[in-house]
Amino acid sequence: MRKRVIFPQVGLPYLLLLPQLAITSVFFFLPAGQAIWFSFLRQDAFGIRTEFVGFENFVELVQDPLYLESLWITLVFSFWVTALAMSVALGLAVLADRHIRGATAYKTLLIWPYAIAPAVAAVLWIFIFHPQVGLLGRFLNGIGVAWDYKLNGTQALITVVVASAWKQVSYNFLFFLAGLQSIPRSVLEAAAIDGASPARRFWTVVFPLLSPTTFFLLVINLTYAFFDTFGVIDALTKGGPAKATTTLIYRAYIDGRVNLDLGSSSAQSVVLMLAVIALTAVQFRFIERKVHY
């Protein structure tokens, strides 16, 4: 953790740490602390009086069917984004890892969606899914399928899942490829000499050896689906129709920024903080142990 040889100065390190700690205190710890404090308060309708209400904001959240529904939507949404983005990436990585000509070119052609903002990815997919100006949307309506993600909740969810997963595939692809390339050739050759078929080799040798990468990506993808997909949802559906794509983050944004509901928004922030802390803790546990079988 620390070097054996160090500089003896005492004041200097504080000076070096100052910018980072100042920003962290003002923009991280102060608001996080306020979120916790406000989550126990309630303001009256005019914002004049505030009173301490204990856990009432949390109790209300848990009893609010709409909040529970957005929790459920978040889980369904995150599951599909993660499953889709990871399985497509793994498939492509396995193929690109084969020793074929042009493997590097494929790599270049597959990683650039990483650079596209979630909100911009959403705009790109408008021109696929939109019932009037989208390629697929128009086609579906043309053959008699009533497709409009602005009216149908399930279709809205499909649209935001596809746009979110599309953007995340390249990230997963890079990590799966790095994971595959670190598997020693000798292990694979041994399995091949024992007569294992390619499919069997994949499931019994490659996949277990990839498990650290897979677990790591699982956490990263869940975090992405929970928090970073705000732009996709805001650009495509604005949480609608009828709140069908309102995830926890989207709801926290609406309650905090639009409805200016101090207590409830803060309580939601605290719940989300707990979720991030749990995800991060899981991530570090797995990385520490370097999960293998």
Partner 1 sequence: MHGPVATTKGEAIARAEEAAERADALRQRADWLTHAILILGVALFALPIWIVLMGSTHDVATISRGEVPLLPGPYAIENYVAAWTEGSARTTRVPVSAMMLNSFVMAILIAVGKIAISILSAYAVVFFSFPGRMLAFWAIFITLMLPVEVRIFPTFKVVSDLGMINTYAGLIVPLIASATATLLFRQFFLTIPDELVEAAKIDGAGPMRFFKDVVVPLSVTNMAALFVILFVYGWNQYLWPLLITTTGDVETIVIGIVRMIGSEADTDWHLVMATTVLALLPPVAIVILMQRWFVKGLVETEK
Residue 71 binding partner 1, by CB under 8 A: no
Using CB under 8 A as the binding rule, whether residue 183 contacts partner 1 is answered as: no
How far apart are alpha carbons 138 and 136 in whole angstroms? 5
Beta bridge partners of 66: none
**Which tokens sit at 171?**
């990230």
Which among 60, 34, 43, 70 is positioned nearest to 266, based on CA atoms?
34
**For tokens 């100042």, what's the residue?**
22
Residue 116 or 196: which CB sits closer to partner 1?
Answer: 116
* Touching partner 1, residues 233-252 (CB under 8 A): 234-235, 249, 252
Size of the site for partner 1 (CB under 8 A): 96
User: Nearest distance from residue 252's CB to partner 1, in Å?
Assistant: 6
Residue 161 touching partner 1 (CB under 8 A): no
Q: Which of 76, 109, 151, 187 binds partner 1 (CB under 8 A)?
A: 109
Segment near partner 1 (CB under 8 A); pick from 42-50, 53-61, 86-94, 199-207: 86-94
Does 178 engage in binding with partner 1 (CB under 8 A)?
A: yes
Contact status: 127 vs partner 1 (CB under 8 A): yes
Residues numbered 34-53 forming contacts with partner 1, rule: CB under 8 A: 34-35, 38
Q: Rule CB under 8 A: is residue 67 a binding residue for partner 1?
A: no
Q: Is 202 in the site for partner 1 (CB under 8 A)?
A: no
- With binding defined as CB under 8 A, does residue 192 bind partner 1? no
Note whether 98 binds partner 1 by CB under 8 A: yes
| CA–CA separation, 63 and 2 (whole Å) | 49
Is 277 a binding residue for partner 1 by CB under 8 A? The answer is yes
| Cα torsion angle, 116, 122, 126, 128, sign | positive
Q: Is 205 in the site for partner 1 (CB under 8 A)?
A: no
Beta bridge partners of 50: 43
120: which 2 tokens?
């911009």
Q: Is 70 within 8 Å of 243 (Cβ atoms)?
A: yes
Residues 214-233 that bind partner 1 (CB under 8 A): 216, 220, 227-228, 230-231
Residues sharing a CB contact under 8 Å with residue 59, sequence separation 6 or more, in sequence order: none
Distance CA(69)–CA(271), nearest Å, equals 15
Q: Is the peptide bond before 8 cis (omega within 30 degrees of 0)?
A: no
Note whether 16 binds partner 1 by CB under 8 A.
Answer: yes
